[in-house]
Amino acid sequence: MTIEPQQFASDNYAGACPEALEAMLAANAGSAVAYGDDGWTQRASDSFRTLFETDAEVFFVFNGTAANSLALASLCQSYHSVICSSAAHVETDECGAPEFFSNGSKLLLAPSADGKLTPEAIRTLASSRSDIHFPKPRVVTITQPTETGQVYSITEVRAISAVCRELGLKLHMDGARFAHACAALGCTPAAITWEAGVDVLCFGGTKNGLMIGEAVIFFDRALAEDFDYRCKQAGQLASKMRFLSAPWIWLIDSGAWLRNAEHGNACAERLAARVADLPAVQLLFPVQANSVFLVAPEAVLDELRALGWRFYTFIGGGARFMFAWDADPARVDQLAADIRAACEVPALA
Ligand SMILES: *Cc1c(COP(=O)(O)O)cnc(C)c1O
């Protein structure tokens, strides 16, 4: 296998950070009880409780689609509905898994340009119908940061949770990049979750530097009833659970969870700053977390592709660049230089 130059098409292109690998090796040092009844899993759950400063119930699953889908299913009956943004990962990128695992709970979409939900949009959707023919609104899910890299402030989350409480809705947070939001806000994990009214958080590990795995954190322990059975039935109960859980101990206790995210965010800012003066290139969204979405003439994008760069254009409508814990600043600068060069090809100059 040849090692290819680093790409920024997805934060999932990154490998696992040293802390995660160290934990894997430590957890591999001997045998341990299976199916999560081991000391590593206990310690990882305690690390989350310390980090979040509350006695939450914690579960470990393989990926984000399962985390979101099972968390939403646990908040819903099949005749309920889930309010989300039209750009939400649960709607656009989970292949109907939330509906599947909830046995049919319907997603109600709020149109949104930047991926954010607003209290007004929630109120409109939740009160559009109250008759028996329409699936009863039961949950709101927000993505922090959104799929377009927009970070909800504490005030915004509080305003959303206030509407949820008023209308009898539970609040779920898809935190596939939760650490990046904490890094951007400079607040405690508690402040932007349970203290702001979030009931359940899916905390992404994969995009934060783990090899694999996400945590589902129930701040309201009553909502976690039988969640272990739900995980098992969905094929999400790891028999050697310690390999999913132990990396979190190192990630959290060492502070790498936050450092990794700060680094990704800083690299996004770095790229944005280095292309800011190019008239042919615009930011599609403000850079608030670890992504940069660029709008540029198709010829510029083609030239970038010809220079070997990979990027997606099906999310948000622009060319997306994502920066993970391992983003090499020199490679970010190379990308910026290549964008600059692509803008100067004769046809465009
Ligand atoms: C990556 C991501 C997920 C999880 O995706 P999986 O591929 O299932 O792990 C969930 N939500 C958002 C917003 C994501 O970006």
Where a domain ends, among 186, 218, 253? 253
Domain of residue 228 covers: 18-253
CB of 175 within 6 A of ligand 1: the answer is no
> What is residue 312's DSSP assignment?
B
Give per-residue pLDDT as tens, 36-69. Answer: 999 999 999 999 999 999 999 999 999 999 999 9
Q: Are 88 and 115 in contact (CB under 8 A)?
A: yes
For the chain, the C-alpha Rg in angstroms (whole number) is 21
Residues 176 and 63 in one domain: yes
**Residue 35 is encoded by which pair of tokens?**
């199916």
Bridge partner list, 324: none
| Residue recorded with tokens 């393989």 | 62
Give the pLDDT confidence score for residue 348 in this predicted structure: 54
Give the pLDDT confidence score for residue 257 in this predicted structure: 98
Q: Residue 210's domain is classified under what CATH number?
A: 3.40.640.10
- Contact partners, residue 218, CB within 8 Å, separation at least 6: 56, 57, 58, 59, 199, 200, 224, 227
Confidence of residue 1 (pLDDT cuts 50, 70, 90): confident
CB of 11 within 6 A of ligand 1: the answer is no
Average pLDDT estimate for 73-93: 97
Which atom of ligand 1 is nearest the CA belonging to 214? Answer: 9
Where a domain ends, among 253, 276, 296? 253
CB of 65 within 6 A of ligand 1: the answer is yes
Where a domain ends, among 203, 233, 253? 253
Identity of the residue numbered 333: D
Give a yes or no: residue 181 inside a domain.
Answer: yes
Confidence of residue 317 (pLDDT cuts 50, 70, 90): confident
Give a yes or no: residue 9 inside a domain.
Answer: no
